[in-house]
Amino acid sequence: MRITYIHQHFKTPAMAGGTRSYEFARRLVEHGHEVHVITGHPDGDRTRISTESGIVVHWLPVNYDNSMTYGRRLWSFFDFVRRAAAVAGRLRHDLVFATSTPLTVAIPGAYAALRRRVPMVLEVRDVWPETPIALGALRSPPSRWAALRLEAWAYRRAARVIALSPGMAESIQRRFPDVTVTVVPNSSDRALFAGADRAGEEVRRRTPWLGDRPLVLYAGTLGRANGVDYLVRMAARLADRDPDVRVVILGDGMMRDQIRDLAAELGVLDRNLFMLGPVPKSEVVAFFGACDLAVSAFVNIPELRNNSPNKVFDAFAAGRPVAVTHGGWIADLIAANAAGLVLPPDDPEGAAAAVAAFVRDGAAMTGAREAASALGRDRFDRDLLFQDFERVLTEARRAPRPRRTRRPHRAGRRTVRRAGR
């Protein structure tokens, strides 16, 4: 198949951020498909094209970063819609694949699919607009109305929908029962993390403040939804309970300055809590290899419990236990498999006690590592989940093609319809 793959936030392993789209697109190429990715990139003032592992990538000059305000993000989303539609409309393809966030990617996806009369598959990485409404990003009634209309419009124009968690799929099917939804969660790239232990040892050797001390790692976005201030408050309790435990926050986002200020205020910054900037995926491997416990953090609201955080599956790939600060399917998975900790929401003191006890319990750590590794191997291996992903695309390719309605040509006050030939 010739596939146009639209993802505003596409990343290669040399860049900071999740690489799900890169890894799936690369595997599509290896299976004989032709893949064109359309994405945004802030560098330069014109579109450039490169080839990454056989993927033809169209880099559009659209600025975006995690520190942007909601207003600037919306501007970026619609700038990408305009530019992506122009590029996608020129490409010849057998199928269009559009992946959120944001859900506005469905607009150029549906346009390109209709133009070539081919199917579109839509991938939903969070339930939108439920999440931005819950976080206060969409406050006015008109913005919420428009977002809900866009959601309904997008789902009804998709031949298939891929959701990243069972809860996302259930939410979509409850509200849109005619939509065919398949769950393909984020996955564990075990090949990428095969050398994590060795790389982690090197990180510990070259980092004097770490050495052989226990390490708790958060690697991800520092946004309002993530509630990373919880980890800062936990670190403050750990400083009194077990001061040798190190907490590392690796990443960037709009809340970075506030988190740093809080850490300085509580006296833990560069004492037992260390904030590092975003690093390429290839370097993230080393930090997961060095850590004893990886953390997935979100604020405690129901709309975020269906997320499928990359960091959880990276931890599984590295064979590392996971602690979650929220409920939902990931928390249930961790608890059912004894693969880490479910920390008490809104209780940093209780979290500090649980973490301090866990990282000093050799038997519990060994068992949790084995359980995490088994989850990455048996349930979330990227090669296994890619088979489900490719099957959805193949099935969608055989789905009925969308019809393109011809508009009548008007001459004066008469309507003249073009005769079929």
Read off the pLDDT of residues 30-53 as tens digits, 9 standing for 90 and up. 999 999 999 998 776 789 999 999
Read off the pLDDT of residues 16-36 as tens digits, 9 standing for 90 and up. 888 999 999 999 999 999 999
C-alpha distances in angstroms, 348 versus 153, 294, 343, 358?
Answer: 42, 16, 9, 15
Q: How far apart are CA 101 and CA 147, in angstroms?
A: 13
Q: Which amino acid is at 216?
A: V
Give the HSE-up count for residue 338: Cα atoms under 13 Å, Cβ half-sphere.
9
Q: Which domains does the chain have, with CATH numbers?
A: 2-187+381-397 (3.40.50.2000), 196-378 (3.40.50.2000)
Instruction: Name which of 55, 67, 61 is nearest 30 in CA terms.
Output: 55
Low-confidence ranges of the chain (pLDDT < 70): 44, 66-67, 399-421
Q: Cβ neighbours of residue 257 under 8 Å, at least 6 residues apart?
A: none
Model pTM?
A: 0.89
Q: How far apart are CA 194 and CA 310, in angstroms?
A: 17
pLDDT of res. 409: 40
pLDDT of res. 142: 86
pLDDT of res. 32: 98
